[in-house]
Every structure is written in C-alpha cells, then in structure tokens.
Amino acid sequence: MGLLFIGAKAVKTTSGVVTAQWVEEIKQRQQIVQQLADEFAACFVPFQAALDYVLPSASAAYWATDGVHPTLAGHRVLAECWYATVTDKKLAQNL
C-alpha cells in the first residue's frame, strides 16, 4: 500500500494571509492529489476535511495562527485524521 499525503492545509481566517485565490488554488491541488491517490491505490488522508470539521469549535487562530501552519491543536487534528485514515485503509486491505 502506498501512502499519499496532501500537505496543503487551508484554514479560513481573517488574517489576510489566506486569500480566496490561494484557497481556490489549494482546492485544485487537493483534487489532483485525490485523483493520484485513486489512480495508484494510495491512501488519501483528508486533512482539509478534518480541519473544516473542527473549525467551528474554536477560533481559526486556535487551529492555525496564520491560517496555514497548524498550531499544536491543529497538528493533533491532523495526526488523528492520519491515524484514522491509515488504520482504516489497512483494515480494509486485510479483509
């Protein structure tokens, strides 16, 4: 099993660091990575979905101070997302 990680993370923020154009570009890159994961039967870790899910529970700065680089709390979300995705993929392949 190959692992493919999407390193581009975007958190909505009012800091001005993350622009609408930047978010659109990241979305396009995320789609490409998803397609590559599908094409090569790799494990796609949906980091953006995990961050989008927790975003309403605290300020954007709690998850990523500058809207891009995760804080300790943001990294925990990413780690939990990675673990859940990878262990689920391994279980599915062993069935």
Domains detected in the chain: 2-93 (3.40.50.1110)
- Helix or strand or coil: residue 2? strand
Structure tokens at 85: 């995705």
Lowest mean pLDDT among 8-12, 42-46, 53-57, 70-74: 8-12
pLDDT band at 67 (very low <50, low <70, confident <90, very high): confident
Structure tokens at 60: 């954007």
| Number of neighbouring beta carbons within 10 Å of residue 29 | 13
Say yes or no to pLDDT of 11 above 70: no
pTM over 0.85: no
- Helix or strand or coil: residue 41? coil
Say yes or no to pLDDT of 25 above 80: yes
Structure tokens at 42: 């790799």
